[in-house]
Amino acid sequence: MNSDFLPYARQLIDDDDVDAVLNVLRSAWLTTGPSVSQFEQRVCEYLGVPHAVAVSSGTAALHAAMSAIGLGSGDEVIVPSMTFVASVNCVMYQGARPVFSDVDPDTLLISPQSVRNLLTPRTKAVIAVDYAGQTADYDALLEITKSRGLTLIADACHSLGASYKGRKAGTLANLTVFSFHPVKHITTAEGGMVVTQDPGLAIRMRAFRNHGITTEVLDRERLGTWYYEMWDLGFNYRLSDLQCALGISQLKKLDVWIAHRRDIARTYDDALHRIPGFEPLKRASSSEHAFHLYVVRVRAGQYGMTRDDLYRQLRTQNIGTNVHYIPAHLHPYYRNRFSTAPGLCPNAEMAYSEILSLPMSHAMSLSDAKRVAGAIRELAGC
């Protein structure tokens, strides 16, 4: 047995990354200096968008987006239940109400039909989550939001580098949010970014990340002035220059890493097909998958073992897997607050009992993937 534990996800830091951070440490600006706008600029170039606002986490990015659209109490935001709780919490930070949408049973992406059914006069926005790294059906979602004057926000924390009908994630919604947590495609330890085509929204988010103050220290120093004004209530959601330098260095490797993630997915696909009761999630032909996660469904009846048993068995072989996600509406906080209960989002709930995320990262090798696949085949008796 292999004695090295293989985590379901992990970052990769090379000497260039380390040097980039050390250079900032030796410079005059540790935070809110030149690396921030450089990182934003590089992300804009990579995605082909005009505005990017770096913030301290993906969660802060979601919050900034919600604030920028003027979300407040009495408003509703439709959000898929199959997501991380941060996608829901950002709505509540603004005093608005999250409305849980079910997902497509094959892809676990937000279901446009379910969104249509949940619209009310109070609906202000829809958050789409690009689950596992596959983009949601943005044409269908924009058809719903545009005609009604709603905002479409993409939680693209899984889909940096993915595309939809030839267009990159980041260009598909009114606002798009990315995370640079270590399990994501590139990392700044903690970090996030919002990108948009809308200059007005970008200005509001820049102020929001800095207490609602309209100028930043670097700008004031360049202009030779000490004066500033606060116009809105904001937060300290800034991303430091240390982190942005790491982000700039990581971004250079993104395309190579995504290609490697796709190779790992192909390795799994080839090694794991035709195991009864063991099914990788379906992929839409309209989307070029970025494979943040490689999610399979384990149907206990046919596979001969439950998802939880497989999780435990793989752990004994030093293989880390994970479950993404407990449907958000089932968490006690929301149940207590909104009386959500099982039965609200049947597709998400059904999937939840069967889904398992296999190890997937640019830091693992194809032979790691073969080891995982071998263990799964053996446990299935194939």
Ligand X SMILES: *Cc1c(COP(=O)(O)O)cnc(C)c1O
The nearer residue to ligand X, 63 or 371, going by C-beta atoms, is 63
The nearer residue to ligand X, 184 or 204, going by C-beta atoms, is 184
Query: Which is the catalytic residue, given 124, 165, 168, 184?
Result: 184
> Of all residues in this chain, which one has the CB nearest to ligand X in the complex?
58
According to DSSP, the residues that pair with 294 across neighbouring strands are 358
**DSSP characters for 317-377?**
TTB--B-----GGGSHHHHHHH---TTSSHHHHHHHTTEEEE---TTS-HHHHHHHHHHHH
Least distance CB 131 / ligand X (angstroms): 8
- The yes-or-no answer on residue 282 being catalytic is no
Question: In Å, how far are 86, 128, 278, 320, 375 from 317, measured between CA atoms?
Answer: 32, 36, 19, 9, 8
Query: What residues make contact with ligand X under the rule CB under 6 A?
Result: 57-59, 83-84, 86-87, 129, 155, 157-158, 179, 181, 192
Least distance CB 30 / ligand X (angstroms): 21
Residues 6+ apart with CB under 8 A from 140: 112
The nearer residue to ligand X, 59 or 210, going by C-beta atoms, is 59
The nearer residue to ligand X, 69 or 379, going by C-beta atoms, is 69
Q: Answer whether 103's CB lies under 8 Å from 109's CB.
A: yes
Per the omega criterion (within 30 degrees of 0), is the bond before 325 cis? Answer: yes
Least distance CB 328 / ligand X (angstroms): 10
Give the Cβ contact number of residue 53 at 10 Å.
29
The nearer residue to ligand X, 87 or 249, going by C-beta atoms, is 87
CA 192 to chain centre: 10
Least distance CB 245 / ligand X (angstroms): 18
In this structure, the strands spanning 151-155 and 163-164 are unpaired
Least distance CB 223 / ligand X (angstroms): 32
SS3 (DSSP) at 178? strand
Give the helix ranges, DSSP H, for 11-71: 15-25, 34-47, 58-68
CA 360 to chain centre: 15
Q: Annotated active-site positions, please?
A: 184
